[in-house]
Amino acid sequence: MANRSVVQIDEDLCVGCQECTKVCPAFAIEGDAGRPQKIVAERCVMCGQCVQVCTGYVSALEQGYEAYSKKRAERGLPDTVNEPLFAAYNTSHVNEVIAALADPAKFTIVQAAPAVRVALSEDFGLPLGTLSAGKMAAAFRRLGFKQIYDTNFAADLTIMEEGTELVERVTKGGVLPMFTSCCPGWVRFIENAYPELTKHLSTCKSPQQMAGAVFKTCGATLNGVDPASVYTVSVMPCTAKAFEAAREEMKASGFRDIDVVITTRELAYIIKQAGIDFAALPDEPFDDPLGEYTGAGAIFGVTGGVMEAAVRTGYTLITGKELSGKSVDITPVRGTEGWRKANIKAGDLTLRLGVVTGLKNVIPVLEELKAGKLDGMHFIEVMTCPEGCVSGGGQPKLVSGAYRAEAYAARRESTFVHDRELPKRKSHESAAVTKIYAEFLEKPNSRKSHELLHTRYRTV
């Protein structure tokens, strides 16, 4: 998958309403009102929020089938796509996935991010926020994937690595505050706009990339296949994930961590093209062991979720004790406000935490950090999109603002319900995580885990 522009604006369709400029968190869209807008590639973080709000479109009904078919072909979309095609769009990789599934030489492994399972059903007429993890796994099998694993497993793995890294920075005098590194739009922004502050980022790869590295090493061994034949497909709520997967450094195993990324919307296209009745599918499990996950992994999709998951395990790493009952719900870090702080007591240590929702809200925080006004803060989560991954640019498109707010709320609530209903809610409780350390990675932040699961940052 080439490293190319992921999000684009079709000047033939753009009406210059400038709704995209209002939501762009990196101020990367320019143009006069009433005229086609342009994306400044050097500033774009590829989050796809412009894709979500764009209302300029071509449809077969209004512009004619010939014009519509031409645009659909230009974007590499299957003939079964009949919905309006909007001016702002993300580069499609649907055909690459379809080709891989038809290639007997490829051992196809798929993963899906936490936020996909609370939004995918919307594209099949089910109620907003419907949890479809089981139906999604069933659909993957009907499509012909060889193994159905899960990004949520890697989210739990991320917490083990990131939590250990945080504790070491706090106890051994490392660079603080430490910022989360799982959001590629945020990482690209700090690399471009504040490169001197990248030392504050966790060195952890995102769950998507950790999963790919594990699938092509441990996963290949588990399945008895040549790592060179493993083809990893990632289903994400985020358009920027395609950019992240294409980064040059994301191949520590000797192979690309992720071969191709598709969005939630694109997965729906593929399921429909295959003629699968998604709503009628039974619930089926993900494949073991790299498909097991806890509630901590599930909440990565909402703003504050990475922080909450980290605290659930960090508390145990610091105190040697377990959170239980209602104390597992770290409610002080929840919410949807732009910048919020919380102090969490962990034994003799008070963890000073921060959560940034929406990339525009991180600029004042970074300026405070540069000015030395964040002394004493330990850990800060940053997500580019308005309410975290549930509102990602690759999720089902929601044109109406009121409908959008309702959908985000429903996806968020479904995420927390899923967390509460899972038998294990802390990453370190995962038997699959325990197993992979015992048999493959040795321990969190070991030399081997650093080689595969961590990375370095640069100006891009």
Secondary structure of residue 288 in the 3-state scheme:
coil
Burial of 261 (0-12, 13-18, 19+ CB in 10 A): buried
- Per the annotation, the verdict on 244 as an active-site residue is yes
State how far the Cα of 391 lies from the Cα of 119, in Å rounded to an integer.
Answer: 9
Catalytic (active site) residue 241: yes
Q: DSSP label at 204?
A: B
Is 322 one of the catalytic residues?
Answer: no
Distance CA 22, CA 232 (A): 35
Return the CA Rg of the chain: 21
Nearest to 19 by CA among 3, 33, 6: 33
Q: What share of the chain is helix, strand, coil (3-state, %, to 5)?
A: 45, 15, 40
Backbone φ and ψ of 416, nearest 5°: -70, -35
Cβ within 8 Å of residue 373, ≥6 positions away: none
The active-site residue, picked from 54, 182, 183, 238, is 182
Choosing from 19, 122, 161, 165, the catalytic residue is 165
Q: What is the pLDDT of residues 118-145, one digit of tens each?
A: 999 999 999 999 999 999 999 999 999 9
Six-digit token pair at 135?
């139906």
Distance CA 146, CA 155 (A): 22
249 is catalytic: yes
Judge whether 218 counts as a catalytic residue: no
Residues 249, 421, 442, 451: which is the catalytic one? Answer: 249
165 is catalytic: yes
Report the alpha-carbon distance of residue 113 to residue 118 in Å, rounded: 10
Could you tell me how far CA 114 lies from the centroid of its own chain? 8
* Per-residue tens of pLDDT for the chain, all 460 residues: 434 579 999 999 999 999 999 999 999 999 999 999 999 999 999 999 999 999 999 988 888 889 999 999 999 999 999 899 999 999 999 999 999 999 999 999 999 999 999 999 999 999 999 999 999 999 999 999 999 999 999 999 999 999 999 999 999 999 999 999 999 999 999 999 999 999 999 999 999 999 999 999 999 999 999 999 999 999 999 999 999 999 999 998 999 999 999 999 999 999 999 999 999 999 999 999 999 999 999 999 999 999 999 999 999 999 999 999 999 999 999 999 999 999 999 999 999 999 999 999 999 999 999 999 998 999 999 999 999 999 999 999 987 777 899 999 999 999 999 999 999 999 999 999 999 999 999 999 999 999 999 999 875 4
Cis amide prior to 289 (ω within 30 degrees): yes
Q: Could you give the residue range(s) of every CATH 3.30.70.20 domain in the chain? A: 1-91
Please return the burial class of 154, using the count of CB atoms within 10 Å of its CB with bins 0-12, 13-18 and 19+.
buried
Neighbours of 64 (CB within 10 A): 12
What is the token pair recorded at 106?
A: 């490829």
Which of 19, 161, 389, 449 is flagged as catalytic? 389
- Sign, CA dihedral 365-367-369-375, equals negative
Delimit the CATH 3.40.950.10 region(s) of the chain: 148-453
Q: Which CATH architecture has domain 1-91?
A: 2-Layer Sandwich (3.30)
CATH tag, 148-453: 3.40.950.10
Residue with tokens 């004619």: 64
Count other Cβ atoms within 10 Å, centred on residue 174.
14
204 annotated active-site? no
Candidate list 122, 162, 308, 387, residue with the active-site label: 162
- From its phi and psi, is residue 347 left (phi > 0), alpha (psi between -120 and 50) or beta? left
Stretch (H or E) spanning 160: helix 151-172
SS3 for 406? helix
Q: Pick from 64, 142, 122: which is nearest to 411 by CA?
A: 122
Q: Which of 202, 206, 234, 391 is catalytic?
A: 202
Active site residue 389: yes
